[in-house]
Structures are given as C-alpha cells and as structure tokens.
Amino acid sequence: MLTAGIDIGVENVKAVILKDGAIVGRGKGRSGGVGRNAAAEAALAGALQEAGAASADLSGTVATGKGKYDLLFADKQVTEATAAARAAKHLYPDATCVMSLGADETLVLTFNAKDKIGQAVLNEKCAAGLGSFLRKMAMLLELTPDEMSALPPVAPGGATVNDGCVVFAELDALSLLNQSVSSREIASALTDAAAIRACTVLNDITIPMLDCVVLLGGLTRNHAFVQALQTRSGVDFTIPSEAEYAGALGAALVASDH
C-alpha cells in the first residue's frame, strides 16, 4: 500500500511516499504562498517519480503544516503536533519528547504512559519564525546556508545580540556591522540567540520528559544551531536522517492508518 504525506509550511513544502512504513519517495519545493496547492502538487509529483509510482496508486493523501487547508486534493488534514508525534514514535518507539523546529514554528510535545501526546507547547511570539529569521540574517550577512551551518560557537567575550526578541537581535546585528565586526562573528551570535529563544519553548514543558528527545524540522540541517541548542539546553538530542521530512512522514503514517 502506498500513501502520501504533505507538510506545507509558510516557506517550504515537503512530500513523501510511504510503502510498508518506509519512505520510498521524497519531493520538496517552496510553498508558494497563494500558489500552495500547485506547489504541493509539484512536490508530490517529484515524490511519486522517485517512488516509481503514479497518483492513482495512492491509497490516501494526508496534509499537515500551516497551509494544510489550502490543498484541494488531500483526503484529510492533521495538526503539526499529531504529525510530529506520529513520525517520532515511528522512528524511535522509546521517544519521550519531541522538539520540532521550522521556518515559522517551534513546537515541543511529550508522550504519556500510553504513548499519546501528554503535553504540547508552541512558541511565544518572540520565539516564532526562528528558521525564517536565521535565513533572513544569512542573506543580510551574505552567508550561504552551508556557511551558517559551519559557524563556530560563540567565542568568550565575542559579539552578542539581544536574545529576548528577534527584532532587537536584528538591530544589534546591524549595529555590529556598522562597527566592522565580521559577518561570521555576528552570525554566530545570532545563532546562539536563536537557540536561547528555542530553549524557552522547551522550558515551558511543566513535566520534563528528556530521556529521549527527538529533534525534527528543517533547522536540524543547521549544525551550528543544533550545537548551540544542545549547549544551551543541556539536552542530547536524537536527530533522525529524515528530520526535515518528519511532518510529511507523520502525515503519510496517518494516511496508512486509514
């Protein structure tokens, strides 16, 4: 049986084709704003091509992400928390907590004794959009995603930016540029500030379940950010190879359930 899952966020869309619990096709693209339905169709077509299948072969298609209700062809929609939890438990049955980091949202959830979602918390407004924020700052500093990912940790006594608000952090970055501080040093400071903001969401969990914390989302590709997050939180995260596609994977798993 083949099922499809589509995770359509504010910036990117990811699609996966699932067969017997394994991903056999992947597709990715920009979400397209008002053109989200067409963007999702293109990502799904790419995933089907990789899987060597056609849309008629699909038993079901489930959508998740901020643009899930914009898709005209999906059979069902599920929340981002449901998709993240489903993917994490599929990949790591012993998972006790999930942290999902995307362009627009920071989500943390825990599992109860019955492996159901026990508690789920979303970012406050100043921890929203961390992925988009770092991408914007990379453009401002003229650094590529690979260069941002390879940044060193913040040096003792080095540049710092506001870690309470991304707007003030950007203003601090512009001030540092005017002081001729290097782009890489500023980028390291911004990355550390973003990690601190992400930690505030993790700290909102009232009963920490940190035995096995699975880290999901597109920001997992930014190794400098992940390192800063681990240092600031003290958590040794488990990161699956399919972390970026976890939302789509969770949606496809829900489709297979039905």
Task: Indicate whether 32 and 3 sit together in one domain.
Answer: yes
pLDDT at 34: 82
In contact, 30 and 13? CB cutoff 8 Å: yes
Side-chain half-sphere CA neighbours of 173 within 13 A: 28
What is the domain range of residue 209? Answer: 93-239
Residue 234 lies in a domain: yes
218 phi/psi in degrees, rounded to 5: -65, -30
**Per-residue pLDDT band at 126 (split at 50, 70, 90):** low
Pairwise CA distance, residues 6 & 255, whole Å: 11
**Per-residue pLDDT band at 226 (split at 50, 70, 90):** very high
For 157-175, what is the mean pLDDT? 90
Task: Indicate whether 112 and 199 sit together in one domain.
Answer: yes
pLDDT at 239: 97
Pairwise CA distance, residues 220 & 233, whole Å: 15
For 209-237, what is the mean pLDDT? 96
Residue 88 lies in a domain: no
- Output the pTM of the full model: 0.92
Pairwise CA distance, residues 50 & 193, whole Å: 38
The structure tokens 């991408």 sit at 135
Task: Indicate whether 69 and 153 sit together in one domain.
Answer: no
Q: Order of strands across the sheet with 58-64? A: 22-30, 12-19, 2-8, 58-64, 76-77
**Per-residue pLDDT band at 125 (split at 50, 70, 90):** low
pLDDT at 130: 85
Total domain count for the chain? 2
pLDDT at 136: 92
Pairwise CA distance, residues 256 & 179, whole Å: 56
Task: Indicate whether 204 and 76 sit together in one domain.
Answer: no
Task: Indicate whether 63 and 152 sit together in one domain.
Answer: no
**Per-residue pLDDT band at 48 (split at 50, 70, 90):** very high
User: Which contacts qualify for 203-209: CB closer than 8 Å, 24 or more apart?
Assistant: 204/108, 204/121, 205/97, 205/108, 205/110, 205/119, 205/121, 206/119, 207/110, 207/118, 207/119, 208/97, 208/110, 209/96, 209/97, 209/110, 209/111, 209/118
Residue 123 lies in a domain: yes
Res. 183: pLDDT tops 90: yes
Q: What is the pLDDT of residues 129-154, one digit of tens each?
A: 788 899 999 999 999 999 999 999 99
pLDDT at 149: 96
DSSP 8-state assignment for residue 179: T
Task: Indicate whether 100 and 71 sit together in one domain.
Answer: no
Mean pLDDT value across the chain: 93
pLDDT at 123: 84
Give the pair of three-digit tokens for residue 234.
Answer: 């003290």
Residue 113 lies in a domain: yes
Task: Indicate whether 48 and 142 sit together in one domain.
Answer: no
For 22-36, what is the mean pLDDT? 91
Task: Indicate whether 165 and 202 sit together in one domain.
Answer: yes
Beta bridge partners of 101: 106
Residue 129 sits in a domain whose CATH number is 3.30.420.40
Res. 128: pLDDT tops 80: no
**Per-residue pLDDT band at 127 (split at 50, 70, 90):** low
Q: What is the pLDDT of residues 55-99, one digit of tens each?
A: 999 999 999 999 999 999 999 999 999 999 999 999 999 999 999
- pLDDT > 70 fraction of the chain, expressed in percent and rounded: 98
